[in-house]
Chain A
Amino acid sequence: MEARAQPPRIRDGVRAGLPLAPSPILFGLSFGVLADASGFGSPAAVVMSATTFAGAAQFAAISVLGAGGTVTAAILAAVFLNARYVAISMTVAGVFPGGRARRLVESQAIVDESWALSGRRGRFEWPILVGAGLLFYVLWVGSTAVGTLVGGVLDNPNAIGLDAAFAALFLALALPYLRDRRSREAAALAAVITLALTPFTPAGVPIVAASAACLVGLRR
């Protein structure tokens, strides 16, 4: 491992992230548009992109609120979705240099894409993770801001199929996870729980309750 002449630098991470740049740009734009169109509020949307910096959870929160769900349900849905970052951050726990404060700041560069990029050479490289994460962060927050300018123009979002766009988004995010049998079983159970509770509980509750489906992970 020590044999490599040039360890990667932050700028190598930025460069590594460039091919994926369209993703945070288009995503950020659509988050801004959807957040504003569903009444979440533009400043809140931009601040959320800057502080949460995790697409799926942000979309989940505005989706639950947009459907009339409670603030508790929206928070729990987003928090449960982001709980995966505990597992992800464990895999790179040892590669961050410096003191605790610095590690706290730099660990925020962890998103699915920067994490995946940083591990592509067989071990996790901190400069790649931070460089790519920094690039995605700037693009994500910036394009969210631009998106919110467009969202308010939409009069009746569901007339142009905004609700279905949300469904398609979550489907696209879910599919890569559903490659193994256990994930599929858990997902199927989650779908059943959601459908079973929808007629009887307020919006958002079925989503939070469906998190119980991950208990199939405890089975040997």
Chain B
Amino acid sequence: MSVSWLVVAVVGVATVVFKAAGPVLVGRRELPPRLQALVELLAPVMLTSLVVTQTFGGDEEIRVDARVVGLAAAFVALRLRAHIIVAMVVAAATTALIRLVA
């Protein structure tokens, strides 16, 4: 529980500072272009790593299991312009079904 609160506190403070960085701290100045390029890549990089971890991550091992099929189903759903929540349900249902049968 205390672990959760530590995360809440640190991430909360950091995010408040990030959002205020432009309007409060910096005014109208701009980020140096190289730093800007770096910051812009953080989101896609971190999200991709989370996809990989959530799909293949095990207890210090790579595991290929029903989650891969679930993710593939979600990808198809997203390509068919499904809402994110729908894609999540598709992934969960597909994975659960395979686990039930296997």
Contact = CB atoms under 8 A, between A and B. Distances in A.
Interface of A: 22-23, 26-27, 30, 40-41, 44, 47-48, 51-54, 56-58, 60-61, 63, 65, 67-68, 71, 74-75, 77-96, 100, 103-104, 106-108, 110, 159-175, 177-178, 182-183, 186-191, 193-195, 198-203, 206-207, 210-211, 213-218
Contact of B28 (A94, A110, A169, A189): A94
Given A96-B23, A175-B78, A169 B56 contact: no
Given A71-B3, A207-B46, A210-B48, A167 B41 contact: no
Interface of B: 1, 3-8, 10-12, 14-16, 18-24, 26-31, 34, 36-62, 66-67, 70-71, 74-75, 78, 83-85, 87-96, 99
Given A57-B15, A213-B45, A85 B8 contact: no
A110 B49 contact: no
A27 B39 CA distance: 25
A107 B20 contact: yes
A214 B46 CA distance: 9
Given A44-B1, A93-B28, A103-B20, A87 B48 contact: no
A81 B14 CA distance: 11
Given A79-B11, A195-B52, A218 B20 contact: no
Contacts of A93: 22-23, 26-29
Nearest to A204: B53
